[in-house]
């Protein structure tokens, strides 16, 4: 009888290309086990043998490399082998590529140490990386993840890198993008030159991890204004990059949750509350940044460096100090780091396109000779109710899948028109693409096609059907109807809320509140403030916000004063239109349109109600980017409170006209507080009424308005006070960027329900 045991373990999840095998190797050595580990088509397969097999089994999931994520572990005890003397990492077992693609990760602490250690062979090398950090998704052509399948294939490893790559005790064991100054990519311009250009007020286009970025000195107002002019981006906020938390907190207040997010390996942009310049309590001089960085907004989007090149730029800005202590010290320099593209176009990622399209915008273009395969914008998050909420999900997160409650057939969901993402399902996983953008122009539509092709190839699936938004004029609808596959149309807000249902794996009866900009309703009207009752995959529209006018049609979304004028008309205060909006061209004609009901469609959109409030309070009459009027309004909020009798529930409608009437007598600040407080209270009361009536206490909340911190926090608080159980989007943005998941989940389940008979689910009707 031997005390030896042998176990066979199959691990699935994000376990390839993340340092998982060396981790297993070292752990097996630690427990004096023999056996082997290898990558397979399904994940990682391990066999271990020895006296401490049980210890290994217990311990290995507890201290994983930080990029690894386990979905399942299947363990089986088998008969020990008589002769086995070592533990080895063996060649991959070929099979269908079912593993995941890891997202790109910011430079890790170990690599950072080497980057600034003059004895290291990676000293000041802008492309160092290891199994714990560096490019992944952005350089991978297809799975299995292997150097030959990435854009590193053109860089043969030098002798030293070769040794690192094959040494299981090395941090770079099988680190596919590993490289050094002798064998890897090189920059087209020295870091010193880059920094000289930045310091003298130039705008640089620098090839980053997921695409080109425009970088300049954020403290130089003339440069900021030059950037605005050249990008033709007159008010949309720019993102910033600060060296560390100490530097970022010079300009913003940062909570514990926000610190965790900023320093997470994904290194997203985090929206942080601007500090009041007078009360910052800092010793570092002025904390004022030029106003044109984020005009009128209470928050700044800040990220920390995430590539070796970013760190090298800060190093040079800091005067090239020795050692690594400077990395944690305050540095006054702060940079604008924004995606390089012409306004409205997607991020540029090829050297050719950058050369053509950025010459008018950038004073110099800095590139390097490794291709970006998949472009990725920087991700953006904000903390609401102590939880991270995605504003934009891309680098560092895509293409991590979302687990569904059960398996669905493979489907392709095409998302929405604005903030487009696509979603493809494989088994019980939904893969949502990175942010693609608004499908408004040829370049974005090209990106949309490119993403569909790439995801289908990565995942090696053949979708059985295509799901699209119900809107007849969206490009996605046209695309869906021209595929050789059955198609299903899903109502916009149904998809919004289904995305929340899907990620929380909710089933059965729930209430759903969609607060949104615009979505094509079943009746052809512009919906956007909807209360639904869900029963599995079906919904009933219980009610909506009271319809308001969109005088002039679509243009009203860009001209909030028009919507405000429509509200004044509804309030019977026509004289106020000419008083308040006398400077707006067309205000007289607009009243005429309203009276005759010409080109003044109705909408139940909550986003448009925000616009109207913003314009009535003289905060914003014109929106230059999506959501601007609402964001400026939110920026005025300090202490939201509810107006008693500020709303009326009339049949199926929640009428907020009493609140809007009150705003006419408010200052912008008072009005912003009143609007947010009353809207949240009214919505909570409305949901609560239905909840009691229907005995359904779960409510899913979705739509772009849930990026509003005050609305979201208050609504959740009131919901809890009423005994409701609210669910918000956690793994995806609550905006149109999350719609593709809801579409895929509904579509996939519809395919099951209709027993896969094509003719039954080819439809142009909502699910």
Out of Fe ion, Zn ion, none, what residue 14 binds, judged by CB under 5 to 8 A for its kind, is: none
Out of Fe ion, Zn ion, none, what residue 516 binds, judged by CB under 5 to 8 A for its kind, is: Fe ion
* Contacts (CB under 5 A) with Fe ion, residues 447-466: none
| 530 lies in the binding site for Fe ion (CB under 5 A) | no
How many Cα atoms occupy the beta-carbon half-sphere of 519 within 13 Å? 32
Cα(533)–Cα(53) distance, integer angstroms:
51
Cis ω on the peptide bond leading into residue 534 (within 30° of 0)? no
Which is closer to Fe ion, CB of 258 or CB of 516? 516
Which is closer to Zn ion, CB of 34 or CB of 151? 151
Which is closer to Zn ion, CB of 118 or CB of 159? 159
Neighbouring-strand partners of residue 650: 653
The two three-digit tokens of residue 315, written as one number = 């190093």
Locus of tokens 């790559």:
165
What is the four-CA torsion angle of 122, 128, 130, 136, rounded to 10 degrees? -170
Which is closer to Zn ion, CB of 172 or CB of 274? 172
Query: Rounded to the nearest whole angstrom, what is the least distance from the CB of residue 441 to Fe ion in the complex?
Result: 20
| 400 lies in the binding site for Fe ion (CB under 5 A) | no
Query: Rounded to the nearest whole angstrom, what is the least distance from the CB of residue 145 to Zn ion in the complex?
Result: 16
Q: Which stretch binds Fe ion (CB under 5 A): 9-17, 161-169, 559-567, 730-738?
A: 730-738
* Residue 290 neighbours by CB under 8 Å, 6+ apart: 218, 219, 220, 221, 224, 225
* Contacts (CB under 5 A) with Fe ion, residues 100-129: none
Among 47, 464, 503, 516, binds Fe ion (CB under 5 A): 516
Are residues 416 and 736 in contact, defined by beta-carbon separation less than 8 angstroms? yes
Long-range contacts of 283-291 (CB under 8 A, 24+ apart): 284/250, 284/330, 284/332, 285/332, 287/250, 287/251, 289/218, 289/219, 289/240, 289/251, 289/334, 290/218, 290/219, 290/220, 290/221, 290/224, 290/225
Query: Rounded to the nearest whole angstrom, what is the least distance from the CB of residue 394 to Fe ion in the complex?
Result: 19
Query: Rounded to the nearest whole angstrom, what is the least distance from the CB of residue 90 to Fe ion in the complex?
Result: 49
Classify residue 2 by burial, with Cβ atoms within 10 Å: 0-12, 13-18, 19+.
exposed
Query: Rounded to the nearest whole angstrom, what is the least distance from the CB of residue 328 to Zn ion in the complex?
Result: 18
Cα(521)–Cα(514) distance, integer angstroms:
12
* Contacts (CB under 5 A) with Fe ion, residues 14-43: none
Which is closer to Fe ion, CB of 273 or CB of 740? 740
Which is closer to Zn ion, CB of 108 or CB of 506? 108
Locus of tokens 């059985």:
464
Which is closer to Zn ion, CB of 65 or CB of 80? 65
The two three-digit tokens of residue 264, written as one number = 């997470």
| 736 lies in the binding site for Fe ion (CB under 5 A) | yes
The CA-atom distances, in angstroms, between 584 and each of 548, 572, 575, 601, 755 are 20, 20, 15, 20, 57
The two three-digit tokens of residue 389, written as one number = 């909420």
Q: What is the 3-state secondary structure (H, E, C) of 576-611?
A: HHHHHCCCCCCHHHHHHHHHHCCCCCEECCHHHHHH
Cα(176)–Cα(147) distance, integer angstroms:
5
The residues of the shown chain that bind Zn ion, judged by CB under 5 A, are: 108, 111, 130, 132-133, 158, 161, 180, 182-183
Query: Rounded to the nearest whole angstrom, what is the least distance from the CB of residue 495 to Fe ion in the complex?
Result: 8
Q: Site map for Fe ion, 675-704, x if CB under 5 A?
A: ------------------------------
Out of Fe ion, Zn ion, none, what residue 132 binds, judged by CB under 5 to 8 A for its kind, is: Zn ion
Which is closer to Zn ion, CB of 116 or CB of 448? 116
Q: Site map for Fe ion, 235-274, x if CB under 5 A?
A: ----------------------------------------
Cα(558)–Cα(677) distance, integer angstroms:
25
Which is closer to Fe ion, CB of 464 or CB of 516? 516
Which is closer to Fe ion, CB of 410 or CB of 477? 477
Query: Rounded to the nearest whole angstrom, what is the least distance from the CB of residue 213 to Zn ion in the complex?
Result: 21
Residue 62 has a CB neighbour count (10 Å cut-off) of: 6
Which is closer to Zn ion, CB of 23 or CB of 455? 23
CA angle 536, 428, 15 (to 5 degrees): 150
The two three-digit tokens of residue 404, written as one number = 């569904």
Q: Residue 467: enclosing H or E segment and its boundaries? A: strand 465-469
Out of Fe ion, Zn ion, none, what residue 391 binds, judged by CB under 5 to 8 A for its kind, is: none
Query: Rounded to the nearest whole angstrom, what is the least distance from the CB of residue 160 to Zn ion in the complex?
Result: 6
Cα(566)–Cα(123) distance, integer angstroms:
63
Query: Rounded to the nearest whole angstrom, what is the least distance from the CB of residue 518 to Fe ion in the complex?
Result: 7
What letter would DSSP give residue 328? Answer: G
Q: Which stretch binds Fe ion (CB under 5 A): 8-16, 97-105, 732-740, 742-750?
A: 732-740
Q: How many residues bind Fe ion (CB under 5 A)?
A: 2
Query: Rounded to the nearest whole angstrom, what is the least distance from the CB of residue 407 to Fe ion in the complex?
Result: 28
Out of Fe ion, Zn ion, none, what residue 158 binds, judged by CB under 5 to 8 A for its kind, is: Zn ion
Query: Rounded to the nearest whole angstrom, what is the least distance from the CB of residue 158 to Zn ion in the complex?
Result: 3
Cis ω on the peptide bond leading into residue 548 (within 30° of 0)? no
Query: Rounded to the nearest whole angstrom, what is the least distance from the CB of residue 397 to Zn ion in the complex?
Result: 19
Cα(145)–Cα(137) distance, integer angstroms:
9
Out of Zn ion, Fe ion, none, what residue 660 binds, judged by CB under 5 to 8 A for its kind, is: none
Cα(198)–Cα(223) distance, integer angstroms:
10
Q: Which stretch binds Fe ion (CB under 5 A): 121-129, 446-454, 513-521, 675-683?
A: 513-521
Cα(592)–Cα(586) distance, integer angstroms:
10
Which is closer to Zn ion, CB of 184 or CB of 521? 184
Instruction: Tell me if residue 368 falls in helix, strand or coil.
Output: strand
Are residues 427 and 407 in contact, defined by beta-carbon separation less than 8 angstroms? yes
Classify residue 153 by burial, with Cβ atoms within 10 Å: 0-12, 13-18, 19+.
middle
| 164 lies in the binding site for Fe ion (CB under 5 A) | no
Which is closer to Fe ion, CB of 378 or CB of 736? 736
Give the residue nearest to Fe ion (CB).
516
Q: Which stretch binds Fe ion (CB under 5 A): 18-26, 34-42, 452-460, 728-736?
A: 728-736
Out of Fe ion, Zn ion, none, what residue 104 binds, judged by CB under 5 to 8 A for its kind, is: none
Out of Zn ion, Fe ion, none, what residue 108 binds, judged by CB under 5 to 8 A for its kind, is: Zn ion
Out of Zn ion, Fe ion, none, what residue 736 binds, judged by CB under 5 to 8 A for its kind, is: Fe ion
Query: Rounded to the nearest whole angstrom, what is the least distance from the CB of residue 337 to Zn ion in the complex?
Result: 21
Neighbouring-strand partners of residue 365: 205
Query: Rounded to the nearest whole angstrom, what is the least distance from the CB of residue 627 to Fe ion in the complex?
Result: 11
Which is closer to Fe ion, CB of 494 or CB of 636? 494
Query: Rounded to the nearest whole angstrom, what is the least distance from the CB of residue 474 to Fe ion in the complex?
Result: 12
* Residue 232 neighbours by CB under 8 Å, 6+ apart: 342, 343
Which is closer to Fe ion, CB of 131 or CB of 605? 605
Which is closer to Zn ion, CB of 65 or CB of 290? 65
Out of Zn ion, Fe ion, none, what residue 183 binds, judged by CB under 5 to 8 A for its kind, is: Zn ion
What letter would DSSP give residue 664? Answer: T
Query: Rounded to the nearest whole angstrom, what is the least distance from the CB of residue 517 to Fe ion in the complex?
Result: 6
Query: Rounded to the nearest whole angstrom, what is the least distance from the CB of residue 528 to Fe ion in the complex?
Result: 7
Which is closer to Zn ion, CB of 178 or CB of 213? 178
Are residues 433 and 423 in contact, defined by beta-carbon separation less than 8 angstroms? yes
Q: Which stretch binds Fe ion (CB under 5 A): 126-134, 191-199, 390-398, 509-517?
A: 509-517
Q: Residue 459: enclosing H or E segment and its boundaries? A: helix 442-459
Cα(462)–Cα(464) distance, integer angstroms:
6
Task: Give the interface with Fe ion as residue ranges (CB under 5 A).
Answer: 516, 736
């Amino acid at each position: 009888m031997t005390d030896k045991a042998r176990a066979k373990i199959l691990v699935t999840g994000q376990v390839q290309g993340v340092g998982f095998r060396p981790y297993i190797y070292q752990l097996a050595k630690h427990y004096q086990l023999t056996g082997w580990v290898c990558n397979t088509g399904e994940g990682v397969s391990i066999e271990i043998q020895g006296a401490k097999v049980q210890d290994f089994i217990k311990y290995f999931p507890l201290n994983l490399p930080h990029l690894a994520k386990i979905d399942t572990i299947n363990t089986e005890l088998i008969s020990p082998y008589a002769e086995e003397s070592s533990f080895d990492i063996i060649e991959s077992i070929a099979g269908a590529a079912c593993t995941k693609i890891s997202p790109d990760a910011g430079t890790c602490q170990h690599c950072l140490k080497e980057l600034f250690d003059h004895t290291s062979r990676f000293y000041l090398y802008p492309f160092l990386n290891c199994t714990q950090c560096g490019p992944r998704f952005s350089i991978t052509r297809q799975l299995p993840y292997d150097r030959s399948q990435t854009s590193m294939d053109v860089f043969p490893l030098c002798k030293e890198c070769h040794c690192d790559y094959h040494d299981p005790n090395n941090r770079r064991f099988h680190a596919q993008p590993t490289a050094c100054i002798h064998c890897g990519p090189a920059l087209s311009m020295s870091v010193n030159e880059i920094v000289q250009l930045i310091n003298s007020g130039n705008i640089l286009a620098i090839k980053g991890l997921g695409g080109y970025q425009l970088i300049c000195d954020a403290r130089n107002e003339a440069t900021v204004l030059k950037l605005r002019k050249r990008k033709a981006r007159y008010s949309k906020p720019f993102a910033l990059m600060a060296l560390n938390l100490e530097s970022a907190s010079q300009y913003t207040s940062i909570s514990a949750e926000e610190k965790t997010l900023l320093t997470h390996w994904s290194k997203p942009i985090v929206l942080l509350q601007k500090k009041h310049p007078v009360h910052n309590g800092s010793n570092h001089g002025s904390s004022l940044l030029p106003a044109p960085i984020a005009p009128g907004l209470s928050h700044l989007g800040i990220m920390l460096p995430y590539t070796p090149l970013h760190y090298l730029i800060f190093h040079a800005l800091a005067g090239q100090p020795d050692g690594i202590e400077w990395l944690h010290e305050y540095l006054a320099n702060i940079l604008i780091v924004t995606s390089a593209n012409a306004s409205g176009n997607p991020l540029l990622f090829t050297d050719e396109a950058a050369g053509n399209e950025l010459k008018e915008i950038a004073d110099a273009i800095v590139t390097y000779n490794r291709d970006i395969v998949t472009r990725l914008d920087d991700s953006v998050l904000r903390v609401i109710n102590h939880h991270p909420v995605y504003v934009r999900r891309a680098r560092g997160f895509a293409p991590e899948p979302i687990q569904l409650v059960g398996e669905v057939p493979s489907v392709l969901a095409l998302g929405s028109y604005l903030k487009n993402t696509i979603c493809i399902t494989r088994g019980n996983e939904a893969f949502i693409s990175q942010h693609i953008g608004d499908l408004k122009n040829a370049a974005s539509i090209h990106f949309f096609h490119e993403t569909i092709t790439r995801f289908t190839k990565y995942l090696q699936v053949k979708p059985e059907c295509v799901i699209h938004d119900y809107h007849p004029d969206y490009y996605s609808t046209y695309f869906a109807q021209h595929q050789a596959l059955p198609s299903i149309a899903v109502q916009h807000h149904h998809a919004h809320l289904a995305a929340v249902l899907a990620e929380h794996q909710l089933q059965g009866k729930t209430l759903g509140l969609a607060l949104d900009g615009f979505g094509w309703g079943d009746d052809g009207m512009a919906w956007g403030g909807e209360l639904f009752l869900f029963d599995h995959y079906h919904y009933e529209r219980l009610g909506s916000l009271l319809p308001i006018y969109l005088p002039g049609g679509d243009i009203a979304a860009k001209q909030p004063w028009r919507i405000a004028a429509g509200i004044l008309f509804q309030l019977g205060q026509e004289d106020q239109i000419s008083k308040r909006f006398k400077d707006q061209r067309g205000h007289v004609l607009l009243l005429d349109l309203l009276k005759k009901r010409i080109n003044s469609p109705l909408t139940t959109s909550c986003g448009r109600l925000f616009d109207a409030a913003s314009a009535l309070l003289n905060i914003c009459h014109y929106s230059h980017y999506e959501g601007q009027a609402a964001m400026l309004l939110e920026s005025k909020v300090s202490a939201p409170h509810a107006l008693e009798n500020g709303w009326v529930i009339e049949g199926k409608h929640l009428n907020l006209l009493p609140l809007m009437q009150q705003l006419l007598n408010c200052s912008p600040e008072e009005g912003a507080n009143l609007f947010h407080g009353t809207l949240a209270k009214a919505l909570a009361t409305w949901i609560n009424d239905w909840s009691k009536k229907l005995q359904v206490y779960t409510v899913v909340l979705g739509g772009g308005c849930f990026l509003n911190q005050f609305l979201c926090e208050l609504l959740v608080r009131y919901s809890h006070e009423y005994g409701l159980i609210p669910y918000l989007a956690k793994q995806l943005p609550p905006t149109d960027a999350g719609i593709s998941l809801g579409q895929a989940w509904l579509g996939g389940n519809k395919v099951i329900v209709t027993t896969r008979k094509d003719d039954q689910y080819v439809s142009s009707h909502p699910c």
